[in-house]
Amino acid sequence: MPRRSARRPAVLSVCGKDGVRSATRATRLIALLAAVALWSACGGDDVAPTASEAASQWSGDPAAFRWALPAGIAPPVVPPDNPMSDAKVELGRRLFYDVRLSVNGAVSCASCHRQEFAFADAKNLSVGATGEVHPRNSIGLSNAAYQRSLGWAAPATTSFEQHAMIPMFGEMPIEMGLKGRDAHVATDLQGVALYRQLFAVAFGGDASPIRTETIVRSIAAFQRTILSFNAPIDRYRRGDASALSAAAVRGMALFDSRGCVQCHAGADFTLATIAARAAEGFANTGLYNIGGAGAYPARNRGLMEITGNPADMGRMKIPSLRNVALTFPYGHDGSVGSLDAVLENYARGGRVVQTGPNAGDGRDNPAKDSRLRAFVLSPADKGDLLAFLQALTDSTLIRDVKLSNPWR
Ligand code: HEC
Ligand code: HEC
């Protein structure tokens, strides 16, 4: 191993860089111009382990795979046709952080799902490879493997394998911009020795393993390892009463008594993972009421965009609150700037947008969930609720080397 790292040239720190860049025109241009050069630089055989090194480091055997989970926590469901293996997870991690998976080398999955922000991106709205602004706020990925559906309002997207096709190939909006470029991407990856070896180990027996299906399966396997069960709340739930401050314990009681737990319940603080019926995982929280008839802004109308039913206006997935202190800003469109503002909106019984095209009193939104009732939020209560929400932060997740950018 030391031999290999000693050989690793400095350029590798640029290769596969997760594209965490500001989306200024200048940086995009530089990214574009540099992309071709980087791609060739990244393919150097001399930086990769040999095939046998790769095979001995990462097992391709599903039977040898072990979940890193505390006792009593069941592993997420894994599709039978995409079993987990160490090699597949490592491959998925490389791909998740690889800008080769975008039309111009500008972004990877990790650009919009950054480990330091619990795999959200700290932007109001995400920005795709070509600069197009996504109508939605990026969703943190901790324990996403337990989500019944993926996306703010996509009940039919139920697996990572299905979901990855959207950022990779979608055109509305363009995220990675790979439509029609499957062969191109496969050729790029084929040029990288480590990929040739890892694909061969992860998909042993497959004559030409580098293709969209296996790329997607590998990224899915990696995402199933983005597991977070080490926040103070987890240690508290496992019996360590000292894991939560007195303020957080008071906040937890308020979280119950103010009705938050009616929607944010269970291991991941969302009905979306535990409700008997999938539809119970969505709610309208009264963020908008454009024109007084309940409208949400275009492209952000929640389940109504799928069902056409006005009662589904603004119904978004109830987000997991794991690591919520890191996944700012908030709401499906990132329009709620802080946890403080989130709490103010709930206490008021909805959000009032005073001016502009989205003006309206969300409290009176006819599709607002009936469980949401205004309540008095004293400064002390607010502090306690914030202390509780902060106790959902798992600081080991954001430092976990196994989830970090492998190309650095
Ligand atoms: C341009 C930024 C961007 C890129 C690139 C991107 N995502 Fe996302 N991701 C988002 C946004 C925004 C959402 C919310 C989308 C929605 O609900 O419409 C999201 C949602 C998700 C979700 C749903 C999580 C949940 O709990 O519902 C998963 C999983 C995910 N992305 C994985 C990926 C993977 C894997 C890649 C790379 C193949 C990727 N993303 C690339 C911005 C991005
Ligand atoms: C009726 C179900 C429901 C109740 C009750 C509820 N929430 Fe939510 N919560 C949601 C939904 C749905 C969203 C996303 C709304 C959107 O973006 O349009 C959300 C968003 C949030 C967010 C932002 C998370 C993010 O990633 O953007 C926080 C924090 C939050 N809720 C905390 C609370 C607290 C604290 C309470 C109690 C005062 C509460 N919720 C009560 C359904 C609910």
Task: Report pLDDT digits (tens) over 328-341.
Answer: 999 999 999 999 99
Closest-CA residue, ligand 2 atom 33, reads: 260
User: CA–CA separation, 161 vs 144, rounded Å?
Assistant: 13
Give the burial class of 57: count Cβ atoms within 10 A of its Cβ; 0-12 exposed, 13-18 middle, 19 or more buried: middle
User: Is the CB–ligand 1 distance for residue 143 below 6 Å?
Assistant: no
For the domain made up of 259-374, give the CATH fold. Cytochrome Bc1 Complex; Chain D, domain 2 (1.10.760)
User: Is the CB–ligand 2 distance for residue 296 below 6 Å?
Assistant: no
Q: Residue 368 Cα, ligand 2 centroid: separation in angstroms?
A: 12
Examine the pLDDT at 352 and tell me if it is beyond 50: yes
- What is the predicted pLDDT for the residue at 9? 33
| Span 162-179, pLDDT tens digits | 999 999 999 999 999 999
User: Is the CB–ligand 2 distance for residue 372 below 6 Å?
Assistant: yes
Residue among 94, 111, 139, 171 whose CB has most ligand 1 atoms within 8 A, to mutate = 139
Examine the pLDDT at 101 and tell me if it is beyond 80: yes
Lowest mean pLDDT among 38-52, 206-220, 229-243, 300-314: 38-52
Q: Residue 102 Cα, ligand 1 centroid: separation in angstroms?
A: 14
Lowest mean pLDDT among 21-30, 86-95, 159-168: 21-30
79-84 contacts at long range (C-beta below 8 A, 24 or more positions apart)? 79/159, 79/161, 82/161, 82/217, 82/220, 82/221, 84/221, 84/224
| Span 204-243, pLDDT tens digits | 989 999 999 999 999 999 999 999 999 999 999 999 999 9
168-174 contacts at long range (C-beta below 8 A, 24 or more positions apart)? 168/101, 168/212, 168/216, 173/128, 173/132, 173/133, 173/134, 173/135, 174/103, 174/128, 174/129, 174/130, 174/132
| Better-scored residue on pLDDT, 265 or 2 | 265
Residue 67: which residues within 8 A CB-CB, separation 6 or more? 75, 227
Residue 51 Cα distances to 12, 28, 46, 198, angstroms: 19, 35, 12, 8
For the question of whether the overall pTM of this predicted structure is more than 0.95, the answer is: no
Q: Do domains 2-228 and 259-374 have the same CATH topology?
A: yes
Residue 165 Cα distances to 104, 158, 176, 213, 292, angstroms: 17, 12, 10, 10, 37
Parallel, antiparallel, or unpaired for β 360-361 and 352-353? Answer: antiparallel
Give the burial class of 306: count Cβ atoms within 10 A of its Cβ; 0-12 exposed, 13-18 middle, 19 or more buried: middle
| Span 124-168, pLDDT tens digits | 999 999 999 999 999 999 999 999 999 999 999 999 999 999 999
Handedness of CA 145, 210, 108, 192 (dihedral sign): positive
**Longest Cα–Cα distance in the chain:** 67
Q: Domain 2-228, CATH 2.60.40.10 — does that match?
A: no
- What is the predicted pLDDT for the residue at 2? 35
The structural domains of the chain, with segments of one domain joined by +, span 2-228, 259-374
Parallel, antiparallel, or unpaired for β 352-353 and 282-283? Answer: unpaired
Confidence of residue 408 (pLDDT cuts 50, 70, 90): confident
Q: What is the mean pLDDT of the chain?
A: 89
Handedness of CA 226, 128, 333, 271 (dihedral sign): negative
Examine the pLDDT at 276 and tell me if it is beyond 50: yes
In three-state secondary structure terms, 120 is strand
- What is the predicted pLDDT for the residue at 8? 36
- What is the predicted pLDDT for the residue at 53? 72
Examine the pLDDT at 402 and tell me if it is beyond 90: yes
